[in-house]
Amino acid sequence: MKEGFDTTHCFTVEGKLALPYSYFAGRVGSKFLTTIRDQKKIMGIKCNKCKKVYVPPRQTCDVCLEDIRDNWVDVKNTGEVTNFTVVRYQDRHLPKKPPYILAMIKLDGADTSLVHVVEGIDVEKVKVGLKVRAVFAKETTSTILDIDHFAPA
Ligand SMILES: [Zn+2]
C-alpha cells in the first residue's frame, strides 16, 4: 500500500486575502521614530539601575525589569557593525533591491544593536567592526526608513 495522504478527494479553493491594518509603534517606539523624522536624531533609553542604553529603545530593562520608558538619552549617529547578513532575494516587503547588507549596528553611546541597511560598500567587503554613520532620508515615510541607510563612516 502506498504511504501518504490521498489528495484526489480533497476539496480546495484558491483564494487571496487582503488584510488592511494599522500598526501602532507604541509610546516608546513612536517617540523614537518621530524624533528621527522631525529632528534627524537617534535616541535611546537608559536604565538608571544597570546603566544599559537601549537602541532601539524599550519600555522595560531586560536585565533589571525596571520601567525605563522616560529615561531618554541621545546617542551618536555613528556606530559599528556587530553582525550582518547579505539579502540576496527579492520580495515585495523588503526595503531595498538585493543584494544588500542587513546589519546589526551598535551606535556610539548604546549597548544594544539596531538592525538596518548598510550601503556604500561592496556586499563582499562588509565586516564586523566596520564603522558606519546614519544617512537620513530626504523625504520622510514616518518609519525607520527615515534613516535611509548606514554608510561607511
Ligand atoms: Zn537595567
State which residues of the chain have pLDDT below 50.
1
What's the CA-to-centroid distance between 60 and ligand 1, angstroms?
8
What's the CA-to-centroid distance between 67 and ligand 1, angstroms?
9
Q: What string of H, E and C letters represents the secondary structure of the chain?
A: CCCCCCHHHCCCCCCCCCCCCCCCCHHHHHHHHHHHHHHCCCEEEECCCCCCEECCCCCECCCCCCECCCCEEECCCEEEEEEEEEECCCCCCCCCCCCEEEEEEEECCCCCCEEEEECCCCCCCCCCCCEEEEEECCCCCCCHHHEEEEEEC
- Supply the pLDDT for residue 2: 54
- Supply the pLDDT for residue 10: 83
What's the CA-to-centroid distance between 78 and ligand 1, angstroms?
24
What's the CA-to-centroid distance between 49 and ligand 1, angstroms?
5
- Supply the pLDDT for residue 1: 47
pLDDT in tens, 3-42: 677 777 888 888 888 888 888 889 999 999 999 999 999 9
pTM confidence score: 0.84
What's the CA-to-centroid distance between 70 and ligand 1, angstroms?
13
What's the CA-to-centroid distance between 30 and ligand 1, angstroms?
22
What's the CA-to-centroid distance between 119 and ligand 1, angstroms?
33
